[in-house]
Amino acid sequence: MSVIVFAEHNENIFKKSSFEAISYGKDLADKLNTNCVAVAIGCSDTNALSNLGKYGASKVLNATGNTLKVFEAAAFAKAFCEVAQSQSGNVVIISNTYNGKSLAPRVAARMNASIVSGIVAMADTTSGFSVKKSCFSNKAFTYVQMKEANKVLALVPNSYPAKESGSSVTPENVSVAVSDADIKTISKSISTVKGKVPLTEAEVVVSGGRGMKGPENWGMIEELAEWLGAATACSKPVADMDWRPHSEHVGQTGITIKPNLYMAIGISGAIQHLAGVGSSKVICVINKDPEAPFFKAADYGIVGDAFEVLPQLIERAKQLKA
């Protein structure tokens, strides 16, 4: 028995969510009196691999093969399960990133495992194996008893802290029996916005709504975000009016986020919007309408005109970071 964590990297750079998943795996392994093994796929940076030990992996394995250069859910699931099986792994932790969301169910189906996704807290192993997950688009939580011996836990990014509790380990490369025939989808091209924090991984998010009056005023949102190292987001009406791309739309039918800080500027806070951002750790609301429902869900509020408040925030953020 062991806890196996999928360590996801992008061009040899491991994601913060993978460190969180490893720390989760390590703490869970301690509860289960076993060890935590990190499994990467197709990584070619030995230092980056050995670094995974610092977050609690007692062993780091890297599946290698020509077919494992670009993420492909079916081939990666096969490779991952082969390595997991070699370690008698029966509890698998995968972060709920976009790739994780494709990999986790395939792994679960291969292992005939209980699967729960959207997990936000450490499993309770005192009676059976119970996990807490968000549901109803963050309006509630539910506790799920995972009944099979094999389990796949898909963990929400930014819900468990990455802790540097261990030390680096020497990674081992494992050659897996995955061939071209295992690749079911062919990647044609990948486009990512370089140098920008992806919304789902951002610790700070600055978000604008209709109160920003028009796309031409987004410079201020972007400037504040830049000074705070934040990602930018928007409300549904803003995306629907094409002021901002849909990829920035947070809310019930958009992206669900859980940053440490969510700053909502000119957003009234409809129930559907709150569903997507309500579990942010700290919420600040800037709105000129004192009756805006968002203030009820906020930690800090400023009742004022965004165009007067934002320049002050930018100025102070500048001083702070300077």
- Please select the residue that binds other proteins; options are 23, 35, 97, 268, rule is CB under 8 A: 97
Cα–Cα distance between 134 and 141 in angstroms, integer? 4
Residue that is written with structure tokens 């539910």 in the block: 142
- Please select the residue that binds other proteins; options are 33, 47, 189, 291, rule is CB under 8 A: 189
CA nearest neighbour of 162 among 133, 203, 191: 203
Asked if 301 is part of the footprint of other proteins (rule: CB under 8 A), the reply reads yes
Which distant-in-sequence residues (6+ apart) come within 8 Å of 294 by Cβ? 264, 267, 268, 269, 273, 274, 283, 285, 287
Strands 9-10 and 13-14: antiparallel
- Please select the residue that binds other proteins; options are 116, 221, 225, 265, rule is CB under 8 A: 116
| Shortest Å distance, C-beta 89 to other proteins | 17
Angle separating helix axes 98-111 and 73-86, nearest 10 degrees: 50
Site for other proteins, residues 249 to 268, rule: CB under 8 A: 249, 252-254, 256, 260-261
What does each C-alpha distance from 228 to 13, 73, 197, 223, 322 come to in angstroms? 23, 35, 11, 9, 11
Q: How many CB atoms lie within 10 A of CB 129?
A: 22
Residue that is written with structure tokens 């569903």 in the block: 275
Which residue number, 59 or 111, has a Cβ lying nearer to other proteins?
Answer: 111
Asked if 305 is part of the footprint of other proteins (rule: CB under 8 A), the reply reads yes
Region label for 38, one of left (φ > 0), alpha (ψ between -120 and 50) or beta (otherwise): beta
Rg (alpha carbons) of the chain, rounded to whole number: 21
Which residue number, 141 or 169, has a Cβ lying nearer to other proteins?
Answer: 141
Asked if 185 is part of the footprint of other proteins (rule: CB under 8 A), the reply reads yes
Asked if 165 is part of the footprint of other proteins (rule: CB under 8 A), the reply reads no
Site for other proteins, residues 28 to 47, rule: CB under 8 A: none
Give the pair of three-digit tokens for residue 236: 């549904």
Which residue number, 241 or 282, has a Cβ lying nearer to other proteins?
Answer: 282
Cα–Cα distance between 317 and 134 in angstroms, integer? 33
Asked if 297 is part of the footprint of other proteins (rule: CB under 8 A), the reply reads yes
Asked if 188 is part of the footprint of other proteins (rule: CB under 8 A), the reply reads yes
- Please select the residue that binds other proteins; options are 33, 47, 126, 192, rule is CB under 8 A: 192
- Please select the residue that binds other proteins; options are 34, 45, 246, 307, rule is CB under 8 A: 246
Asked if 308 is part of the footprint of other proteins (rule: CB under 8 A), the reply reads yes
Which residue number, 57 or 113, has a Cβ lying nearer to other proteins?
Answer: 113
Asked if 143 is part of the footprint of other proteins (rule: CB under 8 A), the reply reads yes
Cα–Cα distance between 153 and 105 in angstroms, integer? 10
| Shortest Å distance, C-beta 222 to other proteins | 16
Give the pair of three-digit tokens for residue 264: 């909502």
Which residue number, 163 or 246, has a Cβ lying nearer to other proteins?
Answer: 246
Please give the biggest Cα pair distance in the chain: 62
- Please select the residue that binds other proteins; options are 88, 125, 196, 213, rule is CB under 8 A: 196
Q: How many CB atoms lie within 10 A of CB 90?
A: 20
Which residue number, 35 or 252, has a Cβ lying nearer to other proteins?
Answer: 252
Site for other proteins, residues 117 to 136, rule: CB under 8 A: 117-118, 130, 134-136
- Please select the residue that binds other proteins; options are 46, 144, 166, 210, rule is CB under 8 A: 144
Asked if 198 is part of the footprint of other proteins (rule: CB under 8 A), the reply reads yes
- Please select the residue that binds other proteins; options are 85, 88, 125, 142, rule is CB under 8 A: 142
